[in-house]
Amino acid sequence: MCPINNGNEGLQSSKSSMLSREEIKAIESWISQMGEYQFLKTARQKMVTAKKTLKFKYKMIGYGYNRIVYDLNNGYILKIALCEVGLLGNANEAYIYNNCNEEVQKYLCPVKEFGSGWVIMKKMGTKVPFAITGYSKLIGLELKFLRYGIIPIDLRLDNVAFSEDNEMVVIDYGLFNMDLNSTVLRWLD
């Protein structure tokens, strides 16, 4: 896992200002047994299994093969890993957000907190409309990331939203890369 700096020189934590100790324990319990479910064939099967273990009161607002996403109802979302790639994605988002150049940081969904198996990020409201202008903005965004040494693996319209300032912001950058020796690129082999 990549250590991150949240402005207070801290590493990933088992503490949170937004999650209760019981919620963190539920995540830790899920993470400890997650490997037992690695052979489930669909993302839905993994999500259902994780939800049963977590038993969160929050509304689930999305999931993929690697992570499940909950709305914390306070302007933030919680992403929890469903597999090893999800663990890597959470750590990677925290690392990139806290270590990239500020010129591209404004195009990344802000990371608030990060712990073992989870990351809390700002909730972005508006999805990008499916239009040619969205694609041209996406290409421009990809070039900005590349210019600042970030390889935007899996940058697509499904992984972006618009900020309040009408700027395109990446909400899922777990597979992005700032380091050519990174674990992310080894997973893609």
Give 5's contacts (C-beta < 8 A, 6+ positions apart). 98, 99
Q: Name 169's bridge partners.
A: 161
83 and 115 co-located in one domain: yes
Among the candidates 103, 122, 141, a domain finishes at 122
Task: Give the separation between CA 16 and CA 163, rounded to whole angstroms.
Answer: 25
111-128 per-position pLDDT tens digit: 999 999 999 999 997 666
**CB-based contact 151:177 (threshold 8 Å):** yes
Among the candidates 70, 93, 122, a domain finishes at 122
Q: For residue 146, tell me if it sits in a domain.
A: yes
The answer, yes or no, to whether residue 188 has pLDDT greater than 60, is: no
Q: State which residues form the domain around 157.
A: 126-183
Per-residue confidence (pLDDT) for residue 4, from 0 to 100: 37
25 and 91 co-located in one domain: yes
The answer, yes or no, to whether residue 181 has pLDDT greater than 80, is: no
The answer, yes or no, to whether residue 83 has pLDDT greater than 90, is: yes
Give the number of other Cβ atoms within 10 Å of residue 120's Cβ: 24
Per-residue confidence (pLDDT) for residue 182, from 0 to 100: 53
CATH number at residue 134: 1.10.510.10
Residue 40 binned pLDDT confidence (cut-offs 50, 70, 90): confident
Q: For residue 138, tell me if it sits in a domain.
A: yes
Task: Name the residue among 117, 121, 119, 120 with its Cα closest to residue 27.
Answer: 117
130 and 98 co-located in one domain: no
**CB-based contact 104:96 (threshold 8 Å):** no
The answer, yes or no, to whether residue 88 has pLDDT greater than 70, is: yes
What total number of domains does the chain contain? Answer: 2
The answer, yes or no, to whether residue 21 has pLDDT greater than 70, is: yes
Per-residue confidence (pLDDT) for residue 175, from 0 to 100: 94
79 and 49 co-located in one domain: yes
Q: For residue 66, tell me if it sits in a domain.
A: yes
Look up residue 7 and give its two tokens: 């402005």
Percentage of the chain exceeding pLDDT 90: 67
Average pLDDT over residues 173-188: 68
CATH number at residue 77: 3.30.200.20
Q: For residue 15, tell me if it sits in a domain.
A: no
Q: For residue 12, tell me if it sits in a domain.
A: no
Q: For residue 11, tell me if it sits in a domain.
A: no
28 and 118 co-located in one domain: yes
Among the candidates 100, 122, 144, a domain finishes at 122
Residue 41 binned pLDDT confidence (cut-offs 50, 70, 90): confident
Q: For residue 176, tell me if it sits in a domain.
A: yes
39 and 68 co-located in one domain: yes
The answer, yes or no, to whether residue 187 has pLDDT greater than 50, is: no
33 and 102 co-located in one domain: yes
Q: For residue 173, tell me if it sits in a domain.
A: yes
101 and 55 co-located in one domain: yes
Total-model pTM: 0.85
